[in-house]
Amino acid sequence: MAFLSMNLSELREHRPARTEPDDFAAFWAGTLAEARAVPARLDTVAVETGLATVTVEDVTFPGYAGQPIKGWLVRPRGAGGPLPAVVSYVGYGGGRGLAHEHLLWASAGYAHLVMDTRGQGGGWAVGDTSDEAPSAGPAHPGSMTRGVLDPAAYYYRRLYTDAVRAVDAVRTHPGIDPERVLVAGSSQGGGLALAVAGLVPDLAGVVAEVPFLQHIRRATEITDAFPYKEVADFCKVHRDKVETVFATLAYVDGLHFAARATAPALYSVALMDEVCPPETVFASYHHYRGPKEIAVYPYNGHEGGGAHHVPAMLAFAAKVL
């Protein structure tokens, strides 16, 4: 994929108008209040992995509607505490994976909570959390259109809430310092991190690699790649419901969360990314309200900075945590 429609100097200036629903703040305040009726907690069960330098625990915490959400808690073995923590979210189609798959953050000395993704986990990494909700009308295969005809029934309302509650949960853990929590993720995981950053006021930092779910309607107009294309495919069939779909999506568009977020943020963007087009990432970045920096990878697609970006993330975490 050669460079997309805008070149880098145009992207550096790209700050499109955003229009959020009138009741956006109320919608999320209500959603979270309802979810927080169930007190935060983090249940842990030790897991034997054969690893020597880290411990892994199988964790469960209450998410949307108090539903049990799974995760892994990985920590450096024998570390005292309380430790600063990283809460990370997974890319589209994947779940929390297996217990030994999350070595980086704990090897760097942090407590690391990996949140499972409800109802995903069949695509590439395994998952263990069901989406305990009816499908609420027709859906194109995949999560993007599940319940998309109604903001209250939409899949991402539940998932964003889970992500907020993961932070609530990790802060209850005695070995973790609740003042020093960073949220992180790539693609959908980056979109979740940004949503949490807009909904939880006192985070220490945000790492959003090539984030998904930013400037969604525009994305459906400029890329043919999944998962944005799930929305386009739904609209292709449901020709009479296009406006309804985008009315719902406005409640989960990352631009509106970015505009509220105040924690320091490290974005990354890849100029040949067809999955999360750079135009949409820069749109989010330029609306981000807090201190921010962005790493640009000119010849990369959705793999973004890959392993080359890890030192930047570790340095950012070291700075803010």
Residue list for the binding site for substrate: 92
SS3 211: coil
The single residue among 34, 236, 293, 319 that binds a copy of itself, judged by CB under 8 A, is 236
Q: For residue 125, state whether it binds a copy of itself (rule: CB under 8 A).
A: yes
SS3 72: strand
Considering the complex, state which of residue 233 and residue 290 has its C-beta at the smaller distance from a copy of itself.
233
Q: How far is the CB of 202 from a copy of itself (least distance, A)?
A: 25
Can you read off the two tokens belonging to residue 14?
A: 């790209």
Nearest-CA neighbor of 271 among 282, 260, 256, 263?
Answer: 282
Cα–Cα distance between 36 and 246 in angstroms, integer?
28
Rounded alpha-carbon distances, angstroms, from residue 307 to 201, 223, 319: 30, 25, 19
Q: For residue 238, state whether it binds a copy of itself (rule: CB under 8 A).
A: yes
Q: For residue 132, state whether it binds a copy of itself (rule: CB under 8 A).
A: yes
Rounded alpha-carbon distances, angstroms, from residue 296 to 11, 217, 276: 11, 23, 13
For residues 135-154, which are near a copy of itself according to CB under 8 A? 135-143, 145
Q: How far is the CB of 180 from a copy of itself (least distance, A)?
A: 16
Helix then strand then coil, % of the chain, to nearest 5: 35, 20, 45
SS3 55: strand
Please tell me the count of residues contacting a copy of itself according to CB under 8 A.
80
Binding mask 187-226 for a copy of itself (x = CB under 8 A): ---------------------------------xxxxx--
Binding mask 73-102 for a copy of itself (x = CB under 8 A): ---xx---------------x-x-xx-xx-
Nearest-CA neighbor of 70 among 133, 132, 157, 153?
Answer: 132
Binding mask 48-67 for a copy of itself (x = CB under 8 A): -xxxxxx-------------
Q: How far is the CB of 25 from a copy of itself (least distance, A)?
A: 29
Q: For residue 9, state whether it binds a copy of itself (rule: CB under 8 A).
A: no
The single residue among 119, 185, 264, 278 that binds a copy of itself, judged by CB under 8 A, is 119
For 206, list phi and psi in degrees, rounded to 5: -135, 130
Nearest-CA neighbor of 32 among 204, 162, 180, 197?
Answer: 162
For residues 267-306, which are near a copy of itself according to CB under 8 A? 272, 297-301, 303, 305-306
Can you read off the two tokens belonging to residue 110?
A: 């942090």
List active site positions.
Answer: 187, 273, 302
